[in-house]
């Protein structure tokens, strides 16, 4: 959520943002979802793993608080027992509860 990190530890999750995600290091702030929360009307479901990094957990909580002040509905779910990568790889299972939450949100907001 907050991609800016002043000095990420090499090979860390934060360092991967700079080496694998961003086209240029100076795009870290502008590409951070936290910078785009104002005026949001899009329904959002945020999620993170119980064993995610402190930075990811803090960023999700911060973004949820920011989005809660906007017009679009927001929910945040903690995936028990999962770390950062398990929350993503678990989505290959179409029966994962995340899909049911997303489906309910789409139905709720499309009426």
- 62 and 104 belong to one structural domain: yes
* pTM, entire model: 0.79
Mean pLDDT of the region 81-89: 92
Kindly state whether residues 32 and 45 are assigned to the same domain: no
Residue 57's pLDDT band, with cuts at 50, 70 and 90, is very high
- What is the C-alpha separation between 22 and 31, in angstroms, rounded? 8
pLDDT reading at 86 higher than 90: yes
47 and 93 together in one domain? yes
pLDDT per residue as tens digits for the range 63-79: 999 999 999 989 999 99
Residue 46 above 80 pLDDT? yes
Same domain, 20 and 45: no
Whole-number pLDDT of residue 50: 96
Structural domain including 21 reads 1-36
48 shares a domain with 32: no
Same domain, 47 and 82: yes
Same domain for 85 and 60, yes or no, is yes
Structural domain count of the chain: 2
Q: What is the 3-state secondary structure (H, E, C) of the chain?
A: CCCCCCCCCCCCHHHHHHHHHCCCHHHCCCCCHHHHCCCCCCCEEEEEECCCCHHHHHHHHHHHHHHHCCCCCEEEEEECCCCHHHHHHHHHCCCCHHHHHHHHHHHHHCC
Is the pLDDT at 1 greater than 80, yes or no? no
Mean pLDDT of the chain: 90
Q: Are residues 45 and 90 in the same domain?
A: yes
Residues 20 and 61 in one domain: no
| % residues pLDDT > 90 (the chain) | 52
Does 58 lie in the same domain as 104?
Answer: yes
Q: Which residues contact 52 (CB under 8 A, 6 or more apart)?
A: 82, 83, 84, 87
């Amino acid at each position: 959520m907050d991609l800016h990190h002043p000095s990420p530890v090499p090979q860390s999750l934060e360092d991967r943002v700079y080496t694998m995600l961003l086209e240029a290091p100076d795009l870290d702030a502008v590409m951070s979802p936290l910078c785009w929360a104002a005026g949001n009307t899009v329904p959002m479901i945020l999620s993170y793993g119980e064993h995610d990094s402190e930075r990811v957990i803090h960023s999700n909580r911060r973004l949820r608080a920011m989005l809660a002040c906007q017009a679009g509905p927001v929910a945040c779910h903690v995936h028990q027992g999962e770390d950062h990568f398990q929350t993503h790889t678990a989505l290959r299972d179409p029966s994962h509860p995340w899909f049911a939450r997303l489906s309910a949100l789409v139905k709720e907001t499309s009426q």
